[in-house]
Amino acid sequence: MPTPTACLALADGTLFYGQGIGATGTCVAELCFNTAMTGYQEIMTDPSYAGQVVTFTFPHIGNVGTTDEDDESADPVAAGLVVKWDPTLPSNWRSARTLSDWLAAKGRIGIAGVDTRRLTRAIRAQGAPHVALAHDPEGKFDIEGLVRKAREFEGLVGLDLAKDVTCAQSYRWDGTRWAWPEGYGTRTGDAPKVVAIDYGAKRNILRCLADAGCDVTVMPASATAEDVLAQNPDGVFLSNGPGDPAATGKYAVPMIRGVLDRTQLPIFGICLGHQMLALALGAKTVKMNHGHHGANHPVKDLETGKVEITSMNHGFTVDSQSLPAGVLETHVSLFDGSNCGIRMADRPVFSVQYHPEASPGPQDSFYLFERFRAAMAPAA
């Protein structure tokens, strides 16, 4: 057996050894698991994973390499990754470099050779643990120090991470989704104006908005209602993002309430944006035991009876019992019954907990972008 060059230390003292990949050093974060079979690069660059190390339950991670075209943000946001097998040499015509080289260039740590089934069972049983992940090519680890760092990690409850991953200033977006053989396209022509609030927006969400026929202006998470309305938008979009929704809500909720109070604009939210809208409408959010992370989550549309297979990435959820009068629950998880969607009964204001942009994942839910676009048709 080769000498371990990486160590994953849980706050309860449990240790996992393996082979380090990517950058060297140490990171401290919350540990989650993701059941997606594809899209590891998109997952690592999803801003919603800020403050988390991702355990991939699927063993073949790294087998198609990496390409900068698939990044969902400028750099990886997840703190690190855990995989069962050492990544193999890439087998894909789009690959530009190996997963390990990509991680090293981006400053992210990985560990391979871990019993991810055992680790996943531990996460399910005890909740998302706090961990320290170290990679040292010489295999020298301060075990007591790693466990202490894991125990000292404050966790994500009460933590506003949207401010760390949002854009620094407003910008226009006109790129559309990737299609064979042209690749990514560009939206042209007149279209309704959408202000997209960036709590940690994935690029493919913005592409989907443009693809559905929206003229998108992205604004920072700190934007006020006055800032948003000064753009004279036809609709407002609330993006995904990381951290505790109650913490981000301290400044996001007043903005959303301001837009709701002063206009009848259509509003559409995804993931953290869903939670922000729920808080603005008077509901509450709670921390989940181990969250939902994967590309195979069944969600039932309570209004049509249809079931969609969706991508999810969230550790907090809207408490459906706290929804006020006039706010309807529209979608629920068929895994645990948790809330996955809401809408106002009398206005084109709606949101979902899952990721209809499908990057990675199924495309069952793209209709939501078209629904948002259709709600703006009279103003277009």
DSSP 68: G
The per-residue pLDDT for range 95-135, each reduced to its tens digit, is: 999 999 999 999 999 999 999 999 999 999 999 999 999 99
Cα–Cα distance measured from residue 79 to residue 139, given in angstroms and rounded to the nearest whole number: 20
Decide if pLDDT at 140 tops 90: yes
**Closest to 70 (Cα-Cα) out of 51, 46, 42, 96:** 42
pLDDT of 1: 67
Q: For helices 367-375 and 203-211, give the axis angle rounded to 10 degrees.
A: 60
- Summarize pLDDT for 283-327 with one digit per residue, the tens: 999 999 999 999 999 999 999 999 999 999 999 999 999 999 999
pLDDT at 2: 86
User: What local confidence, expressed as pLDDT, does residue 375 receive?
Assistant: 97
**341: exposed, middle or buried (C-beta count within 10 Å: 0-12, 13-18, 19+)?**
buried
How many angstroms separate the CA atoms of 134 and 82, rounded? 11
Q: Is it the case that residue 380 has pLDDT exceeding 70? A: no
Q: Which residues contact 141 (CB under 8 A, 6 or more apart)?
A: 7, 134
Q: How far is CA 142 from CA 8, 49, 89, in A?
A: 12, 26, 32
Q: What is the pLDDT of residue 378?
A: 58
Q: Which long-range contacts (CB under 8 A, 24 or more apart) does 145-149 make?
A: 146/7, 146/9, 146/26, 147/9, 147/10, 147/11, 147/13, 149/9, 149/26, 149/28
Determine what percent of the chain is predicted with pLDDT higher than 90. 95
Burial 166-177 (b: 16+ CB within 10 A, else e): beeeeeebebbb
Model confidence at 358, pLDDT cuts 50, 70, 90, reads confident
Domains of the chain: 6-152 (3.50.30.20), 162-379 (3.40.50.880)
Q: What is the mean pLDDT of the chain?
A: 96
Residues acting as catalytic residues: 271, 355, 357
- Res 224: pLDDT: 98
Quickly tell me which residue has 């989550």 as its tokens: 297
- CA neighbor of 341 nearest in space, from 314, 373, 376: 314
pTM: 0.96
CB 297 within 8 A of CB 309: yes
What order of strands is seen across the sheet that includes strand 267-270?
A: 171-173, 215-220, 193-198, 235-238, 267-270, 349-352, 339-344, 327-333, 285-301, 307-318
Structure tokens belonging to residue 90 = 């890439």
